[in-house]
Every structure is written in structure tokens, then in C-alpha cells.
Amino acid sequence: MRQAGLQVSGLSFHQPHAQLFTDWSATFPPGLTWVTGEEGTGKTTLLRLIAGDWPIASGSVMWLEDEAARALVLGDVYWIDPAASARDDLTVHAFAAECQSRFAGWSETAFKHWAKTLALTEHLDKFLYMLSTGSKRKVWLAGALAANARVTLLDEPEAALDQASRQALRSQLARCNQVEQGVWLVASYSCPIEGQPKQTLRLPSG
């Protein structure tokens, strides 16, 4: 029986002044893959392509399980562009309700726990546009940690976080890495956990 995981095959994506991926393939097992590399090597772009934000020129992104492969569907992937404003007209409660309707494994208990841990409790009735950059990032992280998605994509998750929130996140990501709760792709310059991630993917420059 094949282990569940994410398979990217023959990926090609070119921008006007850069060819970031050409016939590029990789396999991502359950646990945490640290995606790193220099500025402009395509870390965020890779997450966007896997999430389906941007169309790929060629190639495929598939979920593998029990000797079968299928295309990812909306409820498989948790991804939110940290800089996006598309959900700004939602309250934090409404955002959680949106996630609950999307992810079969959503845990309201976990979301409440992370809202408290990340000091979001007083903001739950506020619209997202009212929150600071750091507080919005905490909302996205609380959603990621409660969604139990097959694939979770995080882009520089420690940015704009206070020290206590950063340490809580690192500890939880380390647990997800150890117990292999889905596939976690974390794009960042520094390793997002203490210890060894399941896999390290360093994107080449140039």
C-alpha cells in the first residue's frame, strides 16, 4: 500500500523575467516539508501553484493514497495568502464558519484553543480589516491548525508574530511533523521547528 502524500510531476511555470519551474517534480510525504531558498527562487510561487491560485503551464499536482492518484479538490488544501484582502469583510467567527463548511476534519475546539493561545479571543467578533497584520496572520494560523486538511500550505508563518505565538506555533508544527498529520509545506528562510523536518526542499537560485 502506498503511503498517502502529495505528488508534483512535470511542473512548469514561467514568468516574463524568470523561469522558476521547468519540468519540475517532487514528492511530499506526511509530516512537515521545509521549503527554503533565496529571495526570488519561487517559494511562495510553489505554494500558489499547488493551491491552484495560479495556473500551471504543464504538469500535475496529485494526492496519492492506496495506490491511487487524484487531483486535489477545494477541501483538501488549506492555503491563505497572508497579504490577501479577499476575506476582510468577514468577522473572525465568520471566517471560522467558512472553514468549518469547507474542511471535513475541522475542529471548533482546536480553533478556540488556538484563538486563546494566539491572543485572539477579544477579536473574534471583529471584521478582519480591523485587525493588525500580525493579528490577521494569527487568524490564518488558527484556521490552519484547526482545519486538519490533507495539505496545509504556510508562507513565512512566523512573520509579524510575537515571541510567545512564534514558540507555540513551532511546538505545534513539530508535533504535526512527528505524528504526520497530513502534508505540511512551510515556506520560510529559517527552519520552522526545533529538530529535523520530515523533508527539506531547498529551491535553487538562478
| Per-residue pLDDT tens digits for 102-134 | 999 999 999 999 999 999 999 999 999 999 989
Which is more confident, 182 or 3? 182
Mean pLDDT of the region 67-77: 91
DSSP H/E element including 143: helix 133-147
Pair 171, 195: CB distance under 8 Å: no
The whole-number pLDDT of residue 160 equals 85
Q: Among 9-18, 21-30, 40-49, which stretch is predicted with the lowest mean pLDDT?
A: 9-18
Which cell numbers hold the place of 34?
521545509
Amino acid, single-letter form, for residue 127: F
| Cα gap 32→166, rounded to integer Å | 17
| Cα gap 135→103, rounded to integer Å | 22
The whole-number pLDDT of residue 34 equals 98
Which cell numbers hold the place of 131?
485587525
| Cα gap 176→170, rounded to integer Å | 10
The neighbouring-strand residues paired with 7 are: 27, 62
pLDDT tops 50 at residue 73: yes
End-to-end Cα distance, the chain: 38
Backbone angles phi, psi at 199, to 5 degrees: -155, 145
The whole-number pLDDT of residue 55 equals 87
The neighbouring-strand residues paired with 14 are: 19
The whole-number pLDDT of residue 1 equals 39
The whole-number pLDDT of residue 14 equals 84
pLDDT tops 80 at residue 16: no
pLDDT tops 90 at residue 187: yes
The neighbouring-strand residues paired with 140 are: none
The whole-number pLDDT of residue 183 equals 97
The whole-number pLDDT of residue 27 equals 95
Percent of the residues in the chain that have a pLDDT greater than 70, as a whole number: 97
Pairing of strands 151-155, 77-78: parallel
Domains and CATH numbers, the chain: 5-193 (3.40.50.300)
For helices 92-102 and 133-147, angle between their N-to-C axes, nearest 10 degrees:
30
Mean pLDDT of the region 188-196: 94
The whole-number pLDDT of residue 105 equals 96
The whole-number pLDDT of residue 57 equals 85
pLDDT tops 80 at residue 17: no
Percent of the residues in the chain that have a pLDDT greater than 90, as a whole number: 81
